[in-house]
């Protein structure tokens, strides 16, 4: 399973990877700690200040169905870190 980011995305045309907070916080604690360490490494590159426009604030994610219509997001409530969407060994 040694693959780079480009290979992970495969043949898709996706430019972004969106992961719901509820899914991430449902992963085992050891996994979460490793993931956050990697996110902090990305943050250390200062990409937000170096690459983004000065008036940039954030991204907005909306869920669409197969017909392109916006639908409600079943994973939009992270419940202050308490919500779990699947069972894991914490």
Query: pLDDT of 16-60, one tens digit each?
Result: 999 999 999 999 999 999 999 999 999 999 999 999 999 999 999
Query: In angstroms, rounded to a whole number, what is the distance separating the alpha carbons of residues 61 and 64?
Result: 10
pTM: 0.81
Query: In angstroms, rounded to a whole number, what is the distance separating the alpha carbons of residues 81 and 26?
Result: 9
Query: pLDDT of 52-89, one tens digit each?
Result: 999 999 999 999 999 999 999 999 888 888 888 887 55
Tell the residue number behind the tokens 């290979």, with chain if given. 7
């Amino acid at each position: 399973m040694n693959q780079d980011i480009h290979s992970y995305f495969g043949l898709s045309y996706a430019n972004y990877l969106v992961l719901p907070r509820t899914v991430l916080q449902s992963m085992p604690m050891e996994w979460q700690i490793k993931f956050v360490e990697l996110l902090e490494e990305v943050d250390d590159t200062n990409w937000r200040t170096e690459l983004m426009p000065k008036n940039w604030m954030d991204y907005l994610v909306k869920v669409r169905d197969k017909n392109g219509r916006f639908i409600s997001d079943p994973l939009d409530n992270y419940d202050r870190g308490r919500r779990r969407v699947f069972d894991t060994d914490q």
